[in-house]
Amino acid sequence: MKEYDIIVIGAGAGTKLVTPPSKIGKRVAVFEKESPGGTCLNRGCIPSKMVIYPSELIRMAKDTEKFPVFFKEKPEADVDKIFQRVNDTVKQDSDSIPVAYEKNPNIDFYQKQVRFIDNRILSDGTETYTAKHIFIVTGTRPHIPEIPGLKDTPYWTSREALSPNSFPKSLLIVGAGFISLELGAAYAAYGCQVTGLTRTDVLRSADGDIKKELNKHLPFPIESHYQIQKVQFEDGLFVVTGITKDGQTTINKAERLLMATGIRPNTDDLGLENTKIKTSDSGYIQVNETLETTEPGIYAFGDVIGRYFFRHSANFEGEYLFEHLYGNQTNLPIQYPPMPEAVFTHPQIASVGFTEEELIQKKVPYYKGINPYSSSATGMARMSDSGFVKVLVSKETEQVLGAHIIGDEASNLIHQIILGMYLKAKLDDYLGMIYIHPAISEITRNAFRKVREEKLKG
């Protein structure tokens, strides 16, 4: 049996527990059955943004006529070259990870799958491994629902949509969450005829005002509350039959079908049944306040524990574990700061904290301030016809409970509020600082002014 100080299963966010402890003398083994870098590098955050950003340039070019600025020719994109750049860049970054590990004498990288055969023993089918600390960071994969006929068709998941063999003229997307809105918006900008189908609301967990605004400015048409009956693939086309919210049976056809219907944890092939490690009914690994599983010495973090599904949250958890176990060795439980999220669709969306609906459900008293982009100097200059900043402030503490932004640069604009929440800033702090005129951040200031107006009304 090979013994290490640390074993990491998953070379995505798990890398937070590979190189840093190796630099303080820990012997580390890292196992990865797919490409190093995890979902974020290979099939998620990074390649999707490389696809999305050029599509935003096309949208900007098409939007210039209202100023009026005109291009002599219609903007076009060499989509094949865009995706080729994505694939080449991702492969280069992924391939560089094992190379870096090979140069480190304290790291052994194994491009293979391992399973637990006992509580603290892993096997790759040939050799066995153990360690003082084992970290499970295996992430998630697409969840594919049981739809009659679907499994017999060449449907896409986000993996294929980010690396298509050829760019389709038409695309059906099932689901209306982050992946659907991001990739659908990009494909539509590149000239693909995109149609969305979802059995629930569009971006169902978002703040209600955000959903209303998004539905007014969808980057592609989405049929909500749609029940799919069956999927077929005939003569090179997907044929999706379903029932609309009005009870009408309809048929949608397209060259490609993207299933963006949620995720499931990668825990079913880890041999957890041979351990004391417990999972939820959905398969997510249960951990305590220090991210330790029900088997002492074995930890889990990232998507696989089902708390947050962002690379930035997984990075935070990995950094906590390094400090907890090898740095300051504090026994303090993990304490998450305000956890932000963004949807890089068009219009862009960013959120942090509670939605208004959650505050109402929890019966938390709050003030609300909403300011549209158009009600600002920058909005006027940009001729903004959509978008707003919404802030929810506690009536008791006057600290921000939640913030929700839809519009240009939302993912950047929200960081000012994230910092304020982290520092427990109050309403007067946001109103007392000086904002550059006429920067886009004045929209945030105006939202807090709306809160002050509501407060003064009593």
**What are the domain boundaries of the chain?**
2-141+264-325, 150-261, 347-456
Fold agreement between 2-141+264-325 and 347-456: no
Superfamily of structural domain 150-261:
FAD/NAD(P)-binding domain (3.50.50.60)
Residue 115 β-bridge partners: 123
CA 7 to chain centre: 26
- Token pair for residue 270? 């880890």
Q: What pLDDT, on the 0 to 100 scale, is given for residue 72? A: 81
Q: What pLDDT, on the 0 to 100 scale, is given for residue 275? A: 97
Cβ distance 390 to 405 under 8 Å? yes
Q: What pLDDT, on the 0 to 100 scale, is given for residue 362? A: 98
d(CA 163, CA 35): 14
The pTM for the full model equals 0.95
- Judge whether residue 330 has pLDDT over 90: no
CATH fold group of domain 2-141+264-325 = FAD/NAD(P)-binding domain (3.50.50)
Averaged over 193-207, what is the pLDDT?
97
Q: What is the CATH number of domain 347-456?
A: 3.30.390.30
Could you tell me which residues are annotated as the binding site for NAD(+)?
175-182, 262
Cβ distance 291 to 299 under 8 Å? yes
Q: What pLDDT, on the 0 to 100 scale, is given for residue 104? A: 96
* Phi, psi (rounded to 5 degrees) for 238: -80, 135
Cβ distance 310 to 339 under 8 Å? yes
Q: What pLDDT, on the 0 to 100 scale, is given for residue 73? A: 83
Instruction: Quick: pLDDT tens for 234-289.
Output: 999 999 999 999 999 999 999 999 999 999 999 999 999 999 999 999 999 999 99
* Phi-psi region at 355: left, alpha or beta (left = phi > 0; alpha = psi -120 to 50): beta
* Phi-psi region at 221: left, alpha or beta (left = phi > 0; alpha = psi -120 to 50): beta
Cβ distance 295 to 274 under 8 Å? no
Instruction: Quick: pLDDT tens for 345-360.
Output: 999 999 999 999 999 9
DSSP state of 150: G
Cα 444–368–400 angle (5° rounding)? 65
- Please report, in angstroms and rounded to a whole number, the separation of the first and last CA atoms in the chain: 70
Could you tell me which residues are annotated as the binding site?
49, 175-182, 262, 303
Instruction: Quick: pLDDT tens for 394-435.
Output: 999 999 999 999 999 999 999 999 999 999 999 999 999 999
- Token pair for residue 221? 């048409």
DSSP state of 174: E
State the catalytic residues: 437
DSSP state of 65: G
Cβ distance 390 to 369 under 8 Å? yes
Cβ distance 18 to 102 under 8 Å? no
Cβ distance 224 to 207 under 8 Å? no
Averaged over 49-76, what is the pLDDT?
90
Could you tell me which residues are annotated as the binding site for FAD?
49, 303
Determine how β-strand 128-136 pairs with β-strand 2-9: parallel
Q: What pLDDT, on the 0 to 100 scale, is given for residue 328? A: 79
